[in-house]
Amino acid sequence: MDGRWWLWGLVMLAGCTMLDRPVSVEETERVDEQAVWQHHVQAAQQLMTERNYSAARAHLEIAARLQPTRPEPWIMHGECLFRMDRYREALAAYDRALQLDPQSLPARARRWAASIEAHHRTMEINRTIREEIQRLLVDHEDDPKRLYLAWIGYGYLDAAQERQEVFRRWLAHARDPAWRPMLRRSLGTMLFETQDPEQREAWAGRYLEEFGEGAEAEFAARVLIKSLTRQVSDIEEFVREARRWLDRIPRSPFLSLGFARVLVDARSEIDMAIHWIEQALALWDASHAPSAIDASTYERHPFLDARWKGEALTALGLSHLMQGRVAQAQTSFDRAVQLAPWQGEAWHYLGLIAVNEGRIGESLELFLKALETGRALPNTPTLVAHLVPGANANPERARRILAHDGTIVTFTDVTVSSGLSGLRSSRVAWGDYDRDGYEDLLLDGPRLFRNNGDGTFAELTSYTGLGTIKGARGGVWGDYNNDGYPDLFLFGGPTDRVLKNHQGWVFTDVSETVFPGPIGGPTEAAAWGDLNRDGWLDLYVANYERAGVELGLCVQDRLFQNAHGTRFVDVTAKAGIMTDEAMCGRGAVWTDIDHDGWQDILVSNYRLDPNFLWLNQRDGTFRDQAKVLGFRGHNHHGAFGHSIGSVVSDLDGDGDRDVMTTNLAHPRTLPHVDMSMVLFNQGAPGYMLRDRFAQSGIWYEETNADVTLGDVDNDGDVDLYMTAIYPGRSSHLYLNDGQGHFRDVTWLSGTRVENGWGTAMADYDRDGDLDIFVASQDGVRLFQNDGTAHHWVAVQVHSQHCQRLGVGATVIVNTGQATYQRTVMAGKGTGTQDTLVAHVGLGTENGPIVIETRDLCGGRAVKTLSSPDHMVTVTTAPP
């Protein structure tokens, strides 16, 4: 169970007690003391939402001394210790609170959680807690506080049946204003937890009856509608049952729209569908006005009010179209795309109307808008193919003609011809393991595919010794011993491993030799960098959550310093990387965000945790400046975002390093969590990161996963490819206009993939343009870049005195007309890796170019080429 939101309910329950209880006569004589006490408690509450538990504890210690008979500081103190993984100390704090107030329900609930964690969930502890819950309810079966406490306790015990039964009784208090907000969220939790279809339908109906506009209302409506369509035998019966539900729950716009959509898709009872759609729109107009939304929230999510209206207007337009009311249909579709431009279905029907009215050129543009959203209809490409001269009704030919006419880069899916068909993976890392000049593929850690140099790949996992590694889910290349051959760090299995590359022939597991003990885990991502500029690759390991009494109990990240290629030293604590609370890391990338010549580390954290920006202090230590510089995410009462991965490059051509961060952001959570972020570096002196996602041209996609950056059309700016997880969710390729504004060309370019996770770029065929690999459990995809007329240069950085393969080096290319900057990085996103070759598009520049390379050790090299379109190796000289 997810403990974050209702945990704060418990804390605030204690807070309400301490701030609102009656004050005795004796206490009125200590008004100043009470005010000081309240100040410290409130300061502690704020610091807890910031995840700064050490500072919060300092305030709580003062509060406990000021009023030693009050249990609330001890409850909060226990929560701080719990979040710091100090479970036995948390137990002592909760026990102290219970001594002061034996009836304290928050103290008892959190004591159960701390007991389970402290004793590693033994059968004895589970039995003891179960007996306490049962005693708690004796003679108090209808007490909402005790029922709430029992519901939480049974959740800790994973006792689903008892939890359901207790919740039914607690839900009887749904009309009590004191419990209504907590019950709304808890009922939403039960909707997702419950596996029994009948019980889930019952919870869905109750949710919509009680909380028709709550965060889970859309999901509840979908549950009911799916259940109803499964049960009824014909459309007449469906309409009767739908009316019954709408009589019972008249103020649910999601239910009205959902029922209407069933009728529209069945092309039946269209007048009834229109009535229900208009009813839904009226309900949204009455309750979802932008003025009702917090201003800062609306600024970050400008489409929040439009999402469902867009769907309703699309359904309304289709209804009018079915009844021959074309003008009204067009008005509805126009409103839909104006409010919600990602409504591909509305764009499709606008195109169809234009065709029927003879507006052929306009119709083609409208169909292309539908395809751009990734939400077009299945026959949209066929309609486009009939409108494109020379396409002969062939959608693939039409796509290429349109892309060529619009100077859009195209790709060919070569998954089958390259020998990669039938493979499934979640992560990918490009790297030239045998130094033959061709990029090889590492999938999910141990699976190695050698690039044959002829466009095909051969699996050499067993041949190279990687076949003995079991359970790894990802890996990153890095030459830890500076012999010129990239070694491997594999993560995500039972234990993380280091594999030494023996001159491109075989790999051997040297984990026990080079690491002093367990490396980390459960690890979701890792990246190589150089924390002290000594030329030896150090390693950051981003760890995720572990099994525990609730979701979001995570494992501290680890930073390992390389001792000249012989071993790694855990410097996590020494370097200042340790945090009060372990966050759920999913991605890491090294970069120099403030241009001081020292590598910083950006960490993307999941489970509503704040992100880290570890700013290098140049003395072997780091300081988290994520809040100051704008990378942390927005704080909503302690909840941030579900960040998955970040990439870094200069997106707007101003010479600063900008950041793209993906976030999982379901619509029901949007007012309270972050969407994906496009963070533009404001440069000196502050190097602040400012989010311009809403202005970037990038579509909102709730399940964004990994992201990769590279100049795929060789025009000089960095383009973006972003995956989306889950079936039916589409990836997107965006071309950059050079100013940090992006245009979706996914369909035109031929790079659409659904249910993707990891992605990375490399010029695997050495033809001068970047190709794209997408990892997916539905089958991997390799997209070969068809190329453009633009020029380019590719730079492989070598060094004899610093990191041998140039990790961390900056490559600056000057054409006389423009300057381009790239950085060599070993690991990005959510445990994936692009090529170590710096690829720079030059556009139409075909004259001499000057390449300046700066390594992390202060070394430098300058190389002049008389013409572009070359792959060159640049070796930096010592400073």
**Contact (CB, 8 A) for 733 and 745:** yes
Shared domain check, 720 and 859: no
Residue corresponding to tokens 């379109």: 869
pLDDT exceeds cutoff 60 at 703: yes
Please check whether residues 851 and 704 belong to one and the same domain. no
| 523 vs 487: CA distance, rounded Å | 18
pLDDT value of residue 296: 52
Rounded to whole angstroms, how far apart are CA atoms 624 and 603? 10
Of 643, 628, 711, nearest to 677 by C-alpha is: 643
Could you give the CA distance from residue 788 to residue 768 in angstroms, rounded to a whole number? 10
Return the pLDDT at 297. 53
Least confident of 292-301, 366-375, 539-548, 815-824: 292-301
Is 311 part of a structural domain of the chain? Answer: no
Query: What pLDDT sits at residue 20?
Result: 43
Among candidate residues 56, 78, 110, the one where a domain is terminated: 110
> Nearest-CA neighbor of 652 among 744, 761, 741?
741
Looking at the structure, tell me whether residues 631 and 506 fall in a common domain.
Answer: yes
Bond before 522 cis per omega within 30 degrees: yes
Establish if 755 belongs to a structural domain: yes
Q: What is the pLDDT of residue 288?
A: 52
- pLDDT at residue 26 tops 60: no
Tokens of 226: 């799916």
Length of the chain: 879
Closest CA to 841 of 705, 738, 756: 738
% of residues, the chain, pLDDT over 70: 94
Residue 102 placed within a domain: yes
Residue 22 has pLDDT above 50, yes or no: no
pLDDT at 31: 64
Residues 818 and 794 in one domain: no
Q: Count CA within 13 A, CB hemisphere, residue 214.
A: 25
Is residue 586 situated within a structural domain?
yes
Specify burial of residue 62 (Cβ count, 10 A radius: 0-12, 13-18, 19+): middle
* Residues 758 and 866 grouped into a single domain: no
Choose the weakest-confidence range: 7-11, 65-69, 438-442, 764-768: 7-11
Q: How many CA atoms lie within 13 A of 501 on its CB side?
A: 24
The one-letter code for the residue type at 830 is: T
Say yes or no: 760 and 822 in one domain: no
Residue 9 domain-assigned (yes or no) = yes
Domain end marker among 79, 110, 141: 110
Say yes or no to pLDDT of 526 above 50: yes
Confidence of residue 15 (pLDDT cuts 50, 70, 90): very low
Is 115 part of any domain? Answer: no
One-character DSSP codes across 246-272: HHHSTT-HHHHHHHHHHHHHHT--HHH
Nearest to 472 by CA among 461, 483, 482, 480: 461
Residue 642 has pLDDT above 50, yes or no: yes
419 and 559, same domain (yes or no):
yes
Together in a domain, 647 and 578: yes
Instruction: Say how far apart CA 277 and CA 547 lie, in whole Å.
Output: 44
User: CATH code at 554?
Assistant: 2.130.10.130
pTM of the complete model? 0.93
Q: Are residues 769 and 871 in the same domain?
A: no
Domain, as residue range, for 423: 413-799
Q: If you average pLDDT over residues 500-507, what whole number do you get?
A: 97
Q: What is the CATH number of the domain that holds 62?
A: 1.25.40.10
Residue 646 sits in the same domain as residue 675: yes
Average pLDDT of the chain to the nearest whole number = 92
Q: Based on the domain organization, do 836 and 791 belong to the same domain? A: no
Of 635, 802, 816, 659, which is closest to residue 740 (Cα–Cα)? 659
Count the domains in the chain. 3
Q: Mean pLDDT lowest for which of 294-303, 610-619, 736-745?
A: 294-303
| Lowest-confidence pick of 2-11, 132-141, 478-487, 548-557 | 2-11
CA pair distance 728, 832, nearest whole angstrom = 23
d(CA 292, CA 288): 7
Do 273 and 264 meet the contact criterion of CB atoms below 8 Å apart?
A: yes
Classify residue 143: in a domain, yes or no. no
- CA 341 to centroid of chain Cα atoms: 22
If pLDDT is split at 50, 70 and 90, which confidence band does 6 have? Answer: very low
Final residue before a domain boundary, out of 750, 780, 799: 799
From CA 757, how far away is CA 774, in angstroms rounded?
Answer: 7
| 670 and 618 together in one domain | yes
pLDDT of residue 426: 97
Q: What are phi and psi of 613, to 5 degrees?
A: -130, 95
Domain-located, residue 857: yes
